[in-house]
Amino acid sequence: MAEEKKGIVAGIGKAVTGAADLAGDCAKLAKEAIGGQPTKDTRNEMFKKICAIIPNQINNQTVLNVLDMMRKEQKLLMKNFESHLKTNEANIKKHADSMKKANGYVEDQNAWTDVAYGDATMQYSGCEIFATYNAIYNITGKHDIPLQDMISHYEKDGMVLSGKFGTAPKAIKDFLDKQGYKTEMAHEEADFEPLAKKCKTMIMTMYNNKDDISKEVHTVNISKENGKYTAHNVYCNGKVVGPADSLTELMKSVNGGKAKIISLIGIL
């Protein structure tokens, strides 16, 4: 934990430096505005710079560590969501037809407003769980772990801010490891493609837009069939992205090439 905190402090230090540079840029923009007051265009440019600071100034390792610390703090609260289990089981059955049409995958997250996850819903913040569910289905062809049980597990250990910020990526790896899967996790850009090539399926957490944190973070399963890569539940509307010949080629088609990978979990 001590080393983890050192890494977080170093990452935040870099962010502070970036913020100082950002403040200077914004001040310069303001001075250039008429009468020293920011115009609408100037304010828009300031906002874009602010939104870019996290994806561009804070490294992936720091982001993952912060989310994992928030996960551990959430676990200490010991909030009880057991009442969700039966209700979720009943409501999940309502989505059986859409999953059947999607060849067993969950592709339409936007429709899952009736399934609870902590203090949120699966529609709002269930992408990491759907990605886990889809990844296991991709390599087994079965739904061995009921989705309501998976949700319940992450409500006990994994969610961030009672589910409002979804699930910490490291919790996904921990869950898969406990289920007996052999996994490997990467957070450096140079390691993503090599890991993708050697694993059976993968779970990818990404910035939807590498220059705009306001577009939020999303997690998806990327399946592999006959050497081709397909991303599931990218837009949460029933459509997939792919197939593509490589992870690099696939990413060119995700959000118009604007997405940026934070972490990749491969099941080997």
In a domain, 170, yes or no: yes
In a domain, 259, yes or no: yes
Write out the residue range of the structural domain in which residue 10 sits.
2-58
Backbone angles phi and psi of 246, in degrees to 5: -155, 165
The total of structural domains in the chain comes to 2
| CB of 110 closer than 8 Å to CB of 199 | no
Residues 39 and 94 in one domain: no
In a domain, 66, yes or no: no
In a domain, 71, yes or no: no
> To which residue do tokens 């009921």 refer?
146
| CB of 246 closer than 8 Å to CB of 155 | no
In a domain, 195, yes or no: yes
In a domain, 190, yes or no: yes
Cis geometry, peptide bond prior to residue 243 (ω within 30 degrees of 0): yes
pLDDT tens digit at each of 268 positions of the chain: 444 444 444 444 444 444 445 445 544 544 554 455 555 565 566 556 656 777 888 899 999 999 999 999 999 999 999 999 999 999 999 999 999 999 999 999 999 999 999 999 999 999 999 999 999 999 999 998 999 999 999 999 999 999 999 999 999 999 999 999 999 999 999 999 999 999 999 999 999 999 888 889 999 999 999 999 999 999 999 999 999 999 999 999 999 999 999 999 999 9
Q: Identify the pLDDT of residue 11.
A: 44
Q: Identify the pLDDT of residue 156.
A: 97
Cα–Cα distance measured from residue 235 to residue 6, given in angstroms and rounded to the nearest whole number:
36
Residues 116 and 213 in one domain: yes
| CB of 117 closer than 8 Å to CB of 92 | no
Cα–Cα distance measured from residue 49 to residue 86, given in angstroms and rounded to the nearest whole number:
45
Residues 17 and 95 in one domain: no
Residues 14 and 95 in one domain: no
